[in-house]
Structure 1
C-alpha cells in the first residue's frame, strides 16, 4: 500500500471552540450601562441648562439661543408682585424649595420662557438705588450695569436690577444710575422678571430681575437716555447674585453714610414716641422711567383736485353767404357755473338757489350754460360767473353722505367708543378660525370685514385691553391644525366694558365673534392679531 496516497488527510479534525458566554454577557452589560449613561447625561445637560457645565456644553453644541427681546403685548403670561408679596413668598420657602425655585427661574430665562410651568413673576413698585456698578466679563451678565436697590415702602426686600447694554452705552448709564435715584416699575410699562431670589442671614430677601422689554430709559429731571440690548451669552460659572455678600455689605455701608449726609439737622432732643413717624413715603424728585421710541407719522396724502371740463361758448349761426366782421372781437366764453352741495336743512340764497322738486330736474341759466342735475331734497347754489375768475379750475363736488350712513368698520369708528351689535346682528363679513390667521397675515385684509372665532385663554388684562392666546386640544397639537404657539390676540374693549379676568377661557362662535382690525407678522415669526369687541 502506498503510504503517500493519503498523506494530506488528517485522521482527526480540530475541535470546535465553545462560545464564551461570560464575556458576551459582560460586553452587553457594558453597552447597556453606556446607553444609560448617555441617556442620563443628555437629560442632565438638556434638562438643566442653568448648570455651568451644562450651559458650556450646550454652547459648544450651539443649542443655546440668545435671550429674546419681548414686546409688551407678546410677553409670557405672569403675575405682578409688590415687594411685600415677594418677601412673604420667598421667606416661607425652605432652602431646598428655594434652590428648586431658583433653578426653574434661571432655566425659564435661558430658554426664553418657552416651557414655563405656571406664571412668570414680575416686580412692581418703587425702589431707590443704593449703588450701581459696571458689569465685567467675570460677571454672569458680561456687559451693562447692575443696580442694588431697596424698596421704598418695604425695607425687607432688596432688588438688584440688571441693565444689559452695549459697551458704548455704559458711560451714559454710569452718569444716570446714581445713588439715591428712584426706579419706578409699573405694570403698564415695565416687565422686570424675577430670575433669582436669595434669603439673607438677617431675614431680608434679595431678588434679581432683568427687563424683558430691553427698552430705553431716561430720568424725569435730566437729559439723555440709554437703550438696553439682550445679552449675547451668559457666564453661568460666575454664580448668583451679582452683588456678592462682601460687595453688598460695603454698598450698604456707603449708602448709610450717604443718607446721613443728606439727613436734615434735628432741632433739639428727639423724644421717642412724641412725634409719630410718617408711614407715607416721600415723593421722589427724580425718577428713572422707561420711554417708548417715537414712531414716524406719515403725512396725509394731498387730495388731487380735478378741474371741471371747459365749457365752449355757443356761437351764433352765420347766415349763408354772410361775413364776419374782423374788427369786432369774438365774444368771450362765460365760465361754467359750479354746483355747491349744501347741508340738508339749510336754506339757499334767495337770488342764486334753486330747489329741485323731482329727480333729474335740470336748471338752465339764461346765458345758455349747461344744465346741472340736482338730486331731490338737496339745495344747489349756482355761482355767478364773476365769482370764479376765467381760467381757474373748479374743484369737483364730492357727494355728501347722510349723517346716519356708516361707511367705516365698527373697529375704527372712534377711539375707545365704537358701534356694538347684538348677537348675530353684526354686518356681513368673512368668518375665520385661528388656523387661518397666517394666511390673513400674508395676503392682507383686502378691505373686507373679517371676524375671528375660537377658544382663547386670557394671559394679560388691563382696563380696556386683554391679551389672549389660542387654546388648542391635544389632537390639534399633534396634527398641527390649530394656530401657531407664537400667536397673540390683542383685544380692545369699548369704554365701560370690563375685560375678562386673567386665566379665564373665552369662547367665540359665528354669533359672537371678534372683529379683526390688523394682523402683524414679525421677523421672528411672532403673529400679533389686533381685534375689537363688537358684541353688546
Structure 2
C-alpha cells in the first residue's frame, strides 16, 4: 500500500507547532517603545526649537520658517520697558527662572512670534555704544554687525543690538558707523527692538540681546548712499549666546572705560586755566539715521471743488489775457460789476473742469534724514548736530536745579526729558565740550561735588574759561546722563539745546 495515501493517520505529523508567545510579546513591546519614543521626540523637537539639534532637524524637514520682517502696524503685541524696568525684572529672577525665560524669548523669535504666551518685550530708552564688530559665520547671526551698548540711566544693563544685512559690503559700512560713544535712542513711536536673549553676568549685571523687527533703512548724515537691514536667512544656534563672549566683552569694556576716563577724569581736582586739558576722543564724522520709505501718491489729485451757484467764466481763445507787470504809475482797473441772478447758475461748464486738471504727480526718491529730524534712530552726542530751540520754546520737560539732582542720581532719568538750570563757572572748554562748576552761592552739599560736562553742537560757540553762565527756565541744559563716582563726585552730562 502506498504510504502517502494514509499520511494523516500518523498522529505526530498531524500535530501543529507551538507558537512562541514570549518572542511576540517582546517584539510588540519594542514596537510600542519605538512609537512612544518617536511621539515624545516629536514633542521635544517641535516644542524646543531653540536647541541647535532641534533647529537643524526642523530645517531639514521644512517645518520652520526664517525670521521675517514686521510692519509697524502689524507687529506682535508687546510691552515697552525702559532700562531700569528691564534690569529690575530680570535681576529679580532666580537662575532656573531666568534660564526658562531666556529659552522662551529665543523660542518666540524663532517661531516669528506666532505662539507667544503673553506680551513681547520691546526696549525703549537711551544707550551708549561701547563697541561694535562685524558678524561672522561663527556667530548666531552670520551677516551684519552687532553693537554692545550700555544703558545711560541704568549702567548695570548691557545690550547687544544686532543689525543683519544682506551682504558683507553693507555689514562693513554699518560696522564703521557704529563708533564708540554714539548714542542709540529707542522710541516707542517708530522702534520695535525685541529682546530675544537674556543672561546674568558673573558680576551681577544683566546683558540682553535685541533685534529690530522692522529691519528698516539707514543712512549716514555726511555720506552718500543708503543701506537696508534684512531679516537673517539662517541662524547658527550652535555658536551659542551671547554674541559678545566673555573675552570679547571685557576687551570692549576696557577700551570704553579708557574712552570715558579721558572725557570725564576720575580725579576731583579742578583743571588749571592755561594748561592744556586732557585729550578727548575724536568725534565721529558721521551719524547713523533712519530713512523713512517714500509713500506713493495718488494717481491723480482730485480737483478743488468750486463754490456752488457760481457760473464759471472761461476765457475766449481770441481774447488776450492781461498779465500783471510792475509799473511806476498806478494801473487803471475796471469797476467791479454786481452779480445778477442770471449769473448764479450751477457749475456745468466742462471748460473749467478741463482747466483744473493737473499733470501726473512725480514721486521723489527718499533722501537721508538729517540729524535734526525727530525720526532719527541713532545720533552722536559728541561733535554732532541736534535740534536746537529758541529761548523759551524747548519741549515740555522737568526743570531741576543743582539740589534736585540728588533724586536723578539715585533713580535715573526714567525715560523722561529733564533740564538743568542754575549759575555755573566755566573751568575749561575745548573741541565741542566744556566743563562747568556751580557757583559758590548755590547751597547744598551736592553742589560742591558736582561737575557738569556740556556737549555743544558742531559749529556752536564755546564759552570762555572763567566766565559765568546763568541758565534759567527759558535757557536750560538737557540732561543726558548722571553718574556718581566712588569718591562722591557727581558727573552730570548735558547738552546745549538753546540757540545762541
Task: Please name the residue that 1:472 is paired with.
Answer: none
CA displacement, residues 400-456 of structure 1 (integer Å, 9 cap, x when unaligned): xxxxxxxxxxxxxxxxxxxxxxxxxxxxxxxxxxxxxxxxxxxxxxxxxxxxxxxxx
Q: Distance in 1 between matches of 2:153 and 2:221?
A: 21
1:117–1:5 distance in 2 versus 1, CA, 3 Å = closer
Q: Does 2:351 correspond to 1:396?
A: yes
Q: Which residue of 1 aligns with 2:6?
A: 9
Q: Indicate conservation of the 8 Å contact 2:125/2:185, yes or no.
A: yes
Return closer, same or farther for 1:8/1:250 CA change in 2, 3 Å cut-off.
Answer: same
Secondary structure at the residue paired with 1:102?
A: helix
In the alignment, is the contact (CA less than 8 A) between 1:156 and 1:205 conserved in 2?
Answer: yes
Q: Per-residue displacement from partner, 1:48-82 (whole Å, max 9, x unpaired)?
A: 11100000111111112111100011000000000
The question of 1:52 aligning with 2:52 is answered yes
Query: Where does residue 254 of structure 1 map in the other structure?
Result: 255
State the Cα distance separating 1:175 from its structure 2 match.
2.0
Pair 1:119–1:224, CA change in 2 (3 A): same
1:262/1:224 CA distance change after superposition, 3 Å: farther
Distance of aligned partners of 1:310 and 1:90 in 2 relative to their CA distance in 1, 3 Å threshold: closer
Q: How far off its partner does 1:146 sit?
A: 0.5
Question: Are residues 148 and 308 of structure 1, via their aligned partners in 2, closer, same or farther at CA, if it must alter by over 3 Å?
Answer: closer
1:8-157 mapped onto 2 (5 Å cutoff): 8-10=5-7, 11-13=9-11, 14-157=14-157
Other-structure match for 2:494: none
Q: Deviation string for 1:125-147 (max 9, x for gaps)?
A: 11111110010011000000000
Change (3 A) 1:158 1:310: closer
Cα offset for 1:268?
A: 3.6
1:171 deviates by 2.4
State how far apart, in whole Å, the 2-side matches of 1:350 and 1:235 are.
84
The answer as to whether partners of 1:90 and 1:205 remain within 8 angstroms in 2 is yes
2:216 match: 215
State the alpha-carbon separation in 2 of the partners of residues 353 and 198 from structure 1: 83
Q: 1:36 is paired with a residue of what secondary structure?
A: helix
2:162 corresponds to which residue?
162
Q: 1:297 to 1:375 in 2, by over 3 A?
A: closer
The verdict on how the C-alpha distance between 1:354 and 1:229 changes in structure 2, with shifts beyond 3 A counting, is closer
Distance change (3 Å), C-alpha of 1:296 and 1:266 = farther
1:175 correspondence with 2:176: yes
Deviations 1:180-207 (A, max 9, x none): 1111111001100000001111111000
- Give the deviation of 1:301 after TM superposition: 5.6
RMSD: 3.4
1:268-279 superposed matches below 5 A: 268=269
Q: 1:291 to 1:350 in 2, by over 3 A?
A: closer
Partner SS state of residue 226, structure 1? strand
The answer (yes or no) to whether the contact 1:189–1:290 under 8 Å persists in 2 is: no
CA distance in 1, matches of 2:222, 2:315: 61
Query: 2:184 aligns to what SS in structure 1?
Result: strand
- Displacement after TM superposition at 1:248 (Å): 0.7
Cα distance in structure 2, aligned partners of 1:57 and 1:7: 63
Matched ranges for 1:309-320 at <5 A = none
Whole-angstrom distance in 2 between the partners of 1:172 and 1:221: 13
Identify unmatched segments of 5+ residues in structure 2. 272-283, 305-311, 320-333, 354-500
Per the alignment, residue 472 of structure 2 pairs with none
Matching of residue 355 in structure 1 with residue 340 in structure 2? yes
Would the aligned equivalents of 2:128 and 2:182 in 1 still touch at CA under 8 Å? yes
| Distance in structure 2 (CA, Å) of the matches to 1:265 and 1:88 | 28
Instruction: Name the counterpart of 2:231.
Output: 230
Structure number with higher relative contact order (C-alpha < 8 Å, ≥ 6 residues apart): 2
* TM-score of the pair, normalised by structure 1: 0.54
CA gap of 1:104–1:267, structure 2 versus 1, over 3 A, is closer
CA 31–226 in structure 1, closer or farther in 2 if over 3 Å, else same: same
Aligned partners of 2:177 and 2:287 also within 8 Å: no
1:354–1:170 distance in 2 versus 1, CA, 3 Å: closer
Q: Distance in 2 between matches of 1:303 and 1:75?
A: 37
Contact 1:159 1:208 in 2 (8 A): yes
Q: Which runs of 5+ in 1 are unaligned?
A: 271-283, 312-333, 336-348, 357-372, 380-393, 399-536
* Mapped partners of 2:294, 2:84: distance in 1: 35
Classify the secondary structure of the residue corresponding to 1:8.
helix
Counterpart secondary structure, 2:163: strand
User: Partner of 1:396: helix, strand, or coil?
Assistant: helix
The structure with the largest alpha-carbon Rg is 1
Q: How does 1:441-460 map to 2 (within 5 A)?
A: none
Cα 1:19–1:307 change in 2 (3 A) is farther
Asked if the contact 1:181/1:288 (under 8 Å) is kept, the reply is no
Q: CA–CA distance in 1 between the matches of 2:239 and 2:351?
A: 74
